[in-house]
Structure formats: C-alpha cells, structure tokens
C-alpha cells in the first residue's frame, strides 16, 4: 500500500488485510482467512478486482491503449507522467476514459500528484470522460456526492454523456451519439 494510503488507513482506523477469504459469516459479522485468522467486522467491502475492457468500436484504440495491470506499462506511465510534469508545453491534458472506480481513482491520484508538484489544473488538466450522466454509475448517491466533492476540490473535469469514438496522437474525438 502507498504511504498516502497507509496514513489514510491509520488516521481513519481502517485495517487493511491482503489475504484470501475462505468464508464470510454475514449473520455474525466475521470473516475467515486462508491462514485460519478470524476477523470481526462492522462493515465488509468485497473488492475482488476488475477486468479491463477496451471497447472495440473506438477507432485506433489498439494503437494507444494502456492496460494498467502490467507492471511494465505502469513503470512507463510513471516515467511519461514525470516527464509531463516537468515539460514546458502549454495546454497539457490527461484524459481518462471511464468514470467508474478505477477511472476515478486514477484521476484523483494524478490530480493529487499535479498539486503536490506545485502545479495546478491550469498547468495540467485531468479530465474524466464518462458516457453515463454521473461518475461511479450504479453506486450509492452518498459515495457519488463525496467523490464528486473530492474531484471538484482537485479541479478534475468530468465530461458526461459523451463517447470516445476515435483516438489519435495527442487527441481524442468525442460524440454524444451511442
């Protein structure tokens, strides 16, 4: 876990466990792990991961997509992001396709790094493009509102109701048609 997340977990009395769960007793609020550890809980969050989906209808996407589940891609992305932070180019933008959990988390992390570097959204703009009318579609309204507040504080722009139809070098094409 990153140092920032460790601090957040400690500050908010969150216990992070990275282990295989063998059983959950929902009636008695207990989780049993592979090493026979028993953990009582007040709330349980089942975060089992996600599968990356790259829509085939987006023209040229195969030329530019980056699957962040590869360590080599993450290392290259980190280098490219560091270069972007220090470059003297104007109108720098980072566009994240999808405002689900992964897209929102990446946007927040990048916007925080921009801010920590002494830059602002005027220097590097972080933008989420989500085809639904809200970020975190299908999530609880409270979670959506709190997350939107964080995105607003970090000046992350959210574009809703738009679809990416084509990707080119340093450019995306949007449409509002399905």
Q: Per-residue pLDDT tens for 164-173? A: 999 999 899 9
97: enclosing H helix or E strand: strand 92-97
* CB burial readout 128-164, b (16+ within 10 A) else e: bbbbeebbbeeeeeeebeebbeebeebebbbeeeebb
Q: In the predicted model, is pLDDT for residue 1 greater than 60? A: no
Does residue 51 lie in a domain region?
no
Look at residue 17 in the predicted model and tell me its pLDDT. Answer: 74
Distance of alpha carbon 92 from alpha carbon 114, whole angstroms: 11
Q: In terms of domains, do 113 and 156 share one? A: yes
The range of the structural domain enclosing residue 86 comes to: 61-175
Q: In terms of domains, do 98 and 22 share one? A: no
Q: In terms of domains, do 79 and 147 share one? A: yes
Look at residue 2 in the predicted model and tell me its pLDDT. Answer: 63
Per residue in 14-31, pLDDT tens?
877 778 888 888 899 998
Question: How confident is residue 135, by pLDDT bands cut at 50, 70 and 90?
Answer: very high
Does residue 49 lie in a domain region?
no
Q: What is the mean pLDDT of residues 89-93?
A: 89
Question: How confident is residue 149, by pLDDT bands cut at 50, 70 and 90?
Answer: very high
Distance of alpha carbon 130 from alpha carbon 127, whole angstroms: 10
Does residue 147 lie in a domain region?
yes
Q: In terms of domains, do 36 and 120 share one? A: no
Q: In terms of domains, do 92 and 18 share one? A: no
Does residue 48 lie in a domain region?
no
Does residue 53 lie in a domain region?
no
Q: In terms of domains, do 20 and 71 share one? A: no
Does residue 45 lie in a domain region?
no
99: exposed, middle or buried (Cβ count in 10 Å: 0-12, 13-18, 19+): buried
Angle at 111 between CA 107 and CA 113, to 5 degrees: 120
Q: Which residues contact 154 (CB under 8 A, 6 or more apart)?
A: 107, 108, 111, 112, 115, 121, 126
State the total domains in the chain. 2
**pTM exceeds 0.85 for this model:** no
CATH number reported for the structural domain that contains residue 153 in this entry:
3.50.50.60
Of 69-73, 114-118, 158-162, the range with the lowest mean pLDDT is 69-73
Look at residue 28 in the predicted model and tell me its pLDDT. Answer: 92
DSSP assigned state of 17: -
Does residue 46 lie in a domain region?
no
Q: What is the mean pLDDT of residues 61-76?
A: 84
Does residue 50 lie in a domain region?
no
Q: In terms of domains, do 8 and 69 share one? A: no
Lookup result for tokens 């891609």: 73
């Amino acid at each position: 876990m990153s140092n920032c997340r460790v601090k957040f977990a400690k500050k908010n009395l969150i216990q992070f466990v990275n282990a295989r769960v063998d059983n959950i007793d929902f009636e008695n609020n207990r989780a049993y792990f592979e090493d026979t550890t028993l953990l009582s809980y007040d709330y349980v969050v089942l975060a089992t991961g996600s599968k990356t989906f790259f829509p085939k209808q987006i023209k040229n996407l195969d030329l530019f997509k980056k699957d962040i589940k590869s360590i080599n891609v993450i290392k290259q992305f980190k280098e490219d992001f560091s270069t972007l932070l220090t470059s003297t180019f104007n109108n720098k933008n980072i566009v994240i396709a999808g405002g689900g959990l992964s897209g929102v988390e990446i946007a927040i992390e990048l916007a925080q790094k921009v801010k920590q570097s002494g830059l602002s959204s005027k220097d590097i703009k972080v933008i989420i493009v989500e085809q639904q009318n809200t970020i975190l579609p299908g999530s609880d309204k409270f979670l959506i509102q709190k997350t939107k507040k964080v995105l607003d504080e970090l000046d992350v722009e959210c574009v809703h109701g738009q679809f990416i139809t084509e990707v080119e070098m340093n450019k995306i094409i949007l449409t509002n048609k399905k």
